[in-house]
């Protein structure tokens, strides 16, 4: 085989790291492909699965845009949480299926990050049941959510809204992205194969439709066990 | 043992023009090591096999590069192998063969033959810079330039095959980006197939095994490759005055998981059990005697022992014949199935 490692070849290999080519990609190439091959926004939250371990320690990454992202508005959001810590903690104890939950202010969003067992709708429904008033205080700080206050009168709509603001969870195995995109377009997931080297492009285009996402389902040090099983094993009484 | 035409055909077709019929047709370059396995406290609850109930079991291993080329290219991107033989207390052995790729290319032996034929190494091509620009404008990563001295490669054929067969895509995609480990002791290895283990309470579980290196997983920087021959030296150096350990992790499958299809890894959320620790304390020396011993070894993934049995995965089953036939073909120390016994279970 003749060595074809010419100057031009080396230059082309370095294009992805060159400023002008990065600008070209960012402002021309990627927008062209977004126009040419748009991807539907993929739904948030864990995907349905009949398997027991997929129904424990599920992730919720709820990203809620702040109505007022100024320091004042952020302080209001912080206050809404701080003033309700007792309600939130006792509510979570009552729900019983939550491993961890916390609020973050990140970028211009208030985020609720939690790990729970069981069905998503039931999780949110239980929550509204036990700490609906906290949710009302929280979403009064959120853009486009006021119409659902009080949440106890808008349960189904609120569940839908939460689902929509829960981050898409990218698949644990990269090539599964093809099937998720096909399914979102209503195409059969066992149809003709995609060219595998188009996967990086599909990921880029998906990141346009879902700019924020969870990278895979994450690590668990004791996968497959529910909060109830863990508490039972430690004998902590509830 | 009777060898089916299919098993023989696959093994014959695996041999590369730059390989040797005196050596293994795949995983051709390798190095031996020895050590011992100690089960975890909970292991017997899940598996009553001898090495999970005996405090310490001696083990013989061979680490390898996946390629069938007889020329060593440690720094080329390649799957690596770790074959372990446990020497059980009754004098018999059991094998556990793993590789760094977490899944396989085919669901059945027939598909694997098709894959093997499609991925026959062909002359490597430099993609023209113009085509690379075209690919970059299509947001497709260009195929990397060939390595210096690289003449033939299975990559083009494998990618073409994967473009037509969904089931092989994950393995081909991950193999294409697998890289080169800094040491055989710094990679995680997967047994890929499902096995059925029986615990002390006689409960059976469908499981998959992985070796996780306590030294941690680390790959070489492909832009600064350490040369074609470093893995064996580093193994010898590391084990000369230290030990190195791997933990044996076992994932427990659930109804609905792919028990008989090794192209599908199980999600990382399955219950996991730490089954024990392998301590390596000796690497094969760079002598002809050691080389002859380890290079003539014949492992077989179906060399099991009461307490562990094979799932119905047809690829696992054909490997029994394929490895035994290959062992005979290269005139190696016979594996226990290489003899005349008509034992096909
Ligand atoms: C149909 C599927 C497969 C076939 C036909 C096949 C075939 C072979 C053959 C013929 C050898 C050489 C055996 C010898 O001469 O002693 C070999 C070695 C090896 N294979 Fe496979 N293989 C298959 C799947 C796998 C899988 C799924 C794994 C990983 C879990 C694997 C890992 C290895 C390793 C690590 C070696 C080297 C063993 C040693 O060091 O002696 N193979 N394979």
pLDDT classification of A3: cutoffs 50, 70, 90: low
Interface touch B265/A6, C-beta < 8 Å? no
Q: What is the Å distance from ligand 1's center to B323 Cα?
A: 7
- Pick from B139, B247, B268 the residue to mutate for testing the A interface (most A CBs within 10 Å): B139
Residue B83 CB–ligand 1 contact under 6 Å: yes
Residue A2's pLDDT is what? 57
| C-beta B61 within 6 A of ligand 1 | no
pLDDT in tens, B28-85: 999 999 999 999 999 999 999 999 999 999 999 999 999 999 999 999 999 999 999 9
Which pLDDT band holds residue B338 (cuts at 50, 70, 90)?
Answer: confident
Is the per-residue pLDDT at B186 higher than 50? yes
Of A134-143, A196-205, B184-193, the range with the lowest mean pLDDT is A134-143
Expressed in angstroms and rounded, the spacing between residue B99 Cα and the centre of ligand 1 is: 9
Across A107-123, b (16+ Cβ under 10 Å) vs e yields: ebbbbbbbbbbbebeeb
> Residue B98: CB within 6 Å of ligand 1?
yes
What number is the average pLDDT over the span A51-80? Answer: 95
Please, which residues have CB within 8 angstroms of residue A32's CB and are 6 or more apart in sequence? none
Q: What is the C-alpha separation between A100 and A230, in angstroms, rounded?
A: 13
Does the structure show a pLDDT above 80 at B339?
Answer: no
- Best of B127, B269, B271, B274 to disrupt the A interface (most A CBs within 10 Å) is B269
Over range A19-32, report the average pLDDT: 98
| Ligand 1 probe mutation, B188, B263, B319, B325, most atoms within 8 A of CB | B319
- Give yes or no for a contact between A99 and A58, defined as CB atoms under 8 angstroms apart: no
Mean per-residue pLDDT for B270-275? Answer: 97
pLDDT band, very low/low/confident/very high, at B139 (cuts 50, 70, 90): very high
The span from the CA of A56 to the CA of B38, in Å, is 31
B269:A223 CB<8 A? yes
ipTM for this model: 0.91
Band (pLDDT 50/70/90 cuts) for residue A132 is confident
Chain B residues within 8 angstroms (CB to CB) of chain A: 123-124, 126, 129, 132-133, 136-142, 145-146, 148, 150-151, 159, 162-166, 169-170, 172-174, 252, 254-257, 265, 267-272
Compute, in angstroms, the gap from residue B8 CA to the centroid of ligand 1. 13
Measured distance CA(B176)–CA(B162) in Å, rounded: 11
> Does pLDDT of B340 surpass 80?
no
**Residue A49 with chain B: CB contacts under 8 Å:** 256
Q: In which band, very low, low, confident or very high, does the pLDDT at B2 lie, cut at 50, 70 and 90? A: confident
Beta-carbon count within 10 A of A76 CB: 16
Judge: A53–B269 Cβ closer than 8 Å, yes or no: yes
Contact at CB, A220 and B269, closer than 8 angstroms: yes
Beta partners for residue B278, in sequence order: B37, B246
| Partners of B57 in the β-ladder | B37
Interval B247-265: pLDDT, tens:
999 999 999 999 999 999 9
Each residue's pLDDT tens digit, B85-104: 999 999 999 999 999 999 99
Separation CA B166–CA B152 (nearest Å): 25
A57 vs B contacts (CB less than 8 Å): 269
pLDDT for position B342: 41
pLDDT (0 to 100) of residue B341? 42
What chain B holds in terms of domains, given with CATH numbers, is 5-101+180-329 (2.40.180.10), 107-177 (no CATH)
- Count CB neighbours of A192 within 10 A: 9
Ligand 1 closest atom vs CA B81:
35
Helices of type H across B47-120: 50-53, 109-118
Handedness of CA B261, B267, B268, B269 (dihedral sign): negative
Domains assigned to chain A: 15-44+169-214 (no CATH), 55-166 (3.30.70.100)
Angle between helices B314-329 and B109-118 (to 10 degrees): 60
Q: Is the pLDDT of residue A122 over 90?
A: no
Q: Assign A148 a pLDDT band (cuts: 50, 70, 90).
A: very high
**pTM, to two decimals:** 0.95
Residue A82 has pLDDT above 50, yes or no: yes
Looking at per-residue pLDDT, the higher value among B303 and A217 belongs to B303
pLDDT at B344 > cutoff 60: no
A vs B, Cβ pairs < 8 A, gives: 113
- pLDDT bin (cut points 50, 70, 90) of residue A133 is confident
pLDDT band at B345 (very low <50, low <70, confident <90, very high): very low
Class of residue A27 by CB neighbours under 10 A (exposed 0-12, middle 13-18, buried 19+): exposed
Ligand 1 pocket member B99 (CB < 6 A): yes
Q: How confident is the model at residue A128 (pLDDT cuts 50, 70, 90)?
A: confident
Mean pLDDT along residues B202-211: 98
Per the CB < 8 Å rule, is B256 touching A196? no
Q: If you average pLDDT over residues A127-131, what whole number do you get? A: 82
């Amino acid at each position: 085989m003749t060595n074809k490692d010419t100057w031009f070849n080396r230059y082309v290999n370095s294009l992805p790291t060159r400023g002008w080519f990065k600008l070209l990609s960012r402002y021309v190439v990627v927008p062209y492909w977004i126009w040419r091959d748009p991807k539907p926004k993929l739904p948030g939250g864990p995907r349905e699965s009949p398997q027991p371990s997929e129904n424990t320690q599920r992730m919720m990454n709820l990203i809620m845009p702040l109505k007022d992202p100024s320091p004042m508005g952020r302080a209001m959001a912080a206050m809404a949480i701080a003033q309700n810590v007792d309600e939130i903690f006792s509510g979570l104890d009552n729900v019983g299926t939550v491993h961890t939950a916390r609020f973050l202010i990140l970028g211009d969003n208030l985020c609720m990050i939690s790990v729970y067992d069981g069905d998503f709708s039931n999780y949110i429904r239980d929550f509204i049941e036990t700490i609906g008033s906290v949710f009302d205080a929280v979403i009064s700080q959120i853009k486009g959510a006021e119409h659902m206050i009080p949440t106890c009168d808008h349960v189904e709509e609120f569940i839908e809204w939460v689902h929509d603001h829960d981050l898409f969870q990218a698949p644990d195995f990269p090539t599964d992205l093809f099937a998720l995109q096909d399914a979102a377009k209503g195409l059969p997931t066992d149809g003709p194969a995609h060219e595998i080297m188009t996967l990086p492009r599909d990921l880029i285009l998906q990141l346009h439709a879902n700019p924020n996402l969870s990278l895979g389902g994450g690590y668990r040090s004791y996968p497959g066990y529910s909060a109830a099983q863990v508490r039972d094993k430690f004998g902590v009484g509830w | 043992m009777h060898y089916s035409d299919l098993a023989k055909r696959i093994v014959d077709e695996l041999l590369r023009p730059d390989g040797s019929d005196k050596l293994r047709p795949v995983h051709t370059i390798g190095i031996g090591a020895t050590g011992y396995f100690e089960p975890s406290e909970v292991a017997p609850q899940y598996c009553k096999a001898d090495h999970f109930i005996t405090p310490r079991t001696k083990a013989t291993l061979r680490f390898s590069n996946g390629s069938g080329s007889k020329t060593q290219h440690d720094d080329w991107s390649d799957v690596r192998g770790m074959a372990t033989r446990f020497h059980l207390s009754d004098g018999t052995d059991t094998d556990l063969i793993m590789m760094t790729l977490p899944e396989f290319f085919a669901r059945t032996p027939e598909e694997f033959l098709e894959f093997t034929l499609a991925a026959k190494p062909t002359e490597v091509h430099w993609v023209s810079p113009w085509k690379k620009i075209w690919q970059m404008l299509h947001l497709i990563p260009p195929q990397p330039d060939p390595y210096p001295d690289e003449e033939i490669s299975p990559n083009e054929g494998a990618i073409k095959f994967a473009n037509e067969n969904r089931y092989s895509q994950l393995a081909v995609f991950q193999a294409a980006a697998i890289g080169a480990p800094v040491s055989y002791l710094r990679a995680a290895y997967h047994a890929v197939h499902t096995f059925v283990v029986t615990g002390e309470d006689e409960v059976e579980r469908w499981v998959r095994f992985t070796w996780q290196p306590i030294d941690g997983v680390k790959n070489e920087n492909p832009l600064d490759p350490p040369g074609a021959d470093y893995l064996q030296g580093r193994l010898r150096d590391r084990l000369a005055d230290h030990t190195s350990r791997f933990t044996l992790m076992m994932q427990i499958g659930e109804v609905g998981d792919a028990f008989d299809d090794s192209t599908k890894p199980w999600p990382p959320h399955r219950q996991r059990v730490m089954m024990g620790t392998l301590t390596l304390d000796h690497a094969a020396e760079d002598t002809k005697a050691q080389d002859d011993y380890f290079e003539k070894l014949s492992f077989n993934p179906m060399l099991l022992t009461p307490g562990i049995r094979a799932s119905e995965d047809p690829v696992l089953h054909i490997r029994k014949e394929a490895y035994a036939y290959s062992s005979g073909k290269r005139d190696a120390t016979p594996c226990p199935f290489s003899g005349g016994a008509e034992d096909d279970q």
